[in-house]
């Protein structure tokens, strides 16, 4: 067991454990915090995958924005649902069955793929070439159109979110 493997296992298990806590804890605030931890763990994994850019992006976007957003939502809707009652709905056992089934199935399918257990990386030691990524985004024969569409999507989401969540009386809309 190389040190990398140990690090990986550690990080992976922490991440998974906190993910499990996210989905099973009763107290919403705790769930949000566990979510932050999970996201950080994922960021570390990104780093292990030699992707420096996305590590940072993950922390900035996910933890810095989305998780905060989730926290706000939790805080705004806290008093509605009592935290003593069960948090899982009636068909949680079907869900768990499906989930386990899916996990098992996918792992089994993956195992039939020979390259599944390779350890050889294609990426160089420096990680990704960010400039190349940037050029790829704006290159018409590259990924410019998806880039633009995503921009529009973000714009729409922005406007939509503001609109939906606005107060009816006196607010926008």
Partner 1 sequence: MNSIPMSWYLVFSIGLFCIGLFGVLARKNAVAIIMGLELMLNAVNVNLLAFWSYLYADGMSGLVFVTIVFAVAAAESAVGLALIISAYRRRNTVIAEDMNVLKG
Partner 2 sequence: MATEILIWLIPLPPLVAFFLIALFANRWRGLSHYLALSGAGLSWLGSMVVFFTAISREELSKNPIISSINWLPTADTWLKLGVQVDPLTVVTLFFVAWTVLMIFIYSVGYHNYGQPLGDHDHPGLPPHGAHLKDEHGHEHRVPSVEPMYSRFFGFVALFAFGMFTLVLTDNLLALYVGWEIMGLCSYLLIGFWFGKDSARKAAVKAFLTTRIGDMFMLIGLVSLYKITGSLSYSQIFSEASLQLLTSNASPIMGLSWAGFIGLMLFIGTVGKSAQFPLHVWLPDAMEGPTPVSAMIHAATMVSAGVYLVIRFFPIISAGWVPGEALTTTMTVMAFIGAFTALFAATIALAQNDIKRVLAYSTISQLGYMVAALGVGAYGAAAFHLVTHAFFKALLFLGSGSVIHGMEHGVLHTGEEIDPQDMYNMGGLRNKMPFTFWTFLIGGLALAGFPLVTAGFWSKDEILTGSFSGGFMAVFITLALAALLTAFYTMRQITLTFLGQPRTHSAEHAHESKWTMTLPLVILSVFAVSVGWAGIPKAFPVLGGLIPPWFEEFVGSMIESGHGEEVISHSLVPLATSLVVSLGGLTLGWLVYSKVKSGQPDPLQKALGKIYSVLKNKYYFDELYQFLIIKPAFWLATSFTSEWLDRSIIDGILHSFGRFGLWVGRGLRNWFDIPVVNKTGDSLAEGTRGLGSVLRVIQTGRVQQYMVIAIAILVLFGTIFFLFSSGLL
Residue ranges in contact with partner 2 by CB under 8 A: 89, 91, 94-95, 97-99, 101-102, 105, 108-109, 112
- Looking at residues 80 to 99 of the shown chain, list those that interact with partner 1 (rule: CB under 8 A): 80-81, 86-92, 94-96, 98-99
Are 27 and 85 in contact by the 8 Å Cβ rule? The answer is no
Closest alpha carbon to 133 in 53, 56, 55, 50: 53
**Contacting partner 1 (CB under 8 A), which of 10, 23, 56, 138?**
23
Contacts of 40 (CB under 8 A, 6+ apart): 59, 63
Helix (H) or strand (E) holding 34: helix 28-48
**Contacting partner 1 (CB under 8 A), which of 30, 52, 59, 136?**
136
Q: Which does 56 bind (CB under 5 to 8 A by kind): partner 1, partner 2, none?
A: none
Is residue 45 near partner 1 by the rule CB under 8 A? yes
For the CB of residue 140, give the shortest distance to partner 1 in the complex, in Å: 14
For the CB of residue 139, give the shortest distance to partner 1 in the complex, in Å: 9
* The two structure tokens encoding residue 143: 């990924």
* The two structure tokens encoding residue 63: 């933890």
Are 43 and 55 in contact by the 8 Å Cβ rule? The answer is yes
Positive or negative, the CA dihedral 104, 106, 111, 116 is negative
Q: Which does 57 bind (CB under 5 to 8 A by kind): partner 2, partner 1, none?
A: partner 1
For the CB of residue 115, give the shortest distance to partner 2 in the complex, in Å: 17
Q: Which does 14 bind (CB under 5 to 8 A by kind): partner 2, partner 1, none?
A: none
* The two structure tokens encoding residue 6: 């140990």
d(CA 48, CA 9): 11
d(CA 126, CA 1): 24
Q: Which does 165 bind (CB under 5 to 8 A by kind): partner 2, partner 1, none?
A: partner 1
For the CB of residue 45, give the shortest distance to partner 1 in the complex, in Å: 6
Q: Judged by CB under 8 A, how many residues of this single chain contact partner 1?
A: 91
């Amino acid at each position: 067991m190389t040190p990398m493997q140990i690090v990986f296992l550690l990080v992976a298990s922490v991440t998974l454990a906190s993910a499990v806590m996210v989905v099973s804890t009763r107290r919403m605030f705790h769930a949000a915090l566990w979510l932050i931890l999970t996201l950080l763990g994922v960021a570390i994994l990104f780093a292990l995958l030699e992707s420096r850019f996305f590590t940072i992006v993950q922390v900035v976007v996910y933890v810095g924005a989305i998780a905060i957003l989730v926290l706000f939502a939790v805080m705004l809707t806290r008093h509605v649902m009592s935290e003593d009652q069960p948090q899982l709905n009636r068909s949680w056992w079907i869900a768990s069955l499906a989930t386990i089934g899916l996990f098992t199935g996918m792992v089994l399918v993956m195992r039939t793929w020979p390259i599944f257990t390779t350890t050889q990386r294609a990426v160089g030691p420096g990680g990704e070439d960010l400039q190349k990524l940037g050029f790829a985004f704006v290159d018409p024969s590259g990924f410019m159109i998806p880039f633009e569409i995503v921009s529009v999507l973000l714009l729409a989401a922005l406007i939509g979110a503001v609109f939906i969540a606005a107060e009816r009386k006196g607010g926008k809309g």
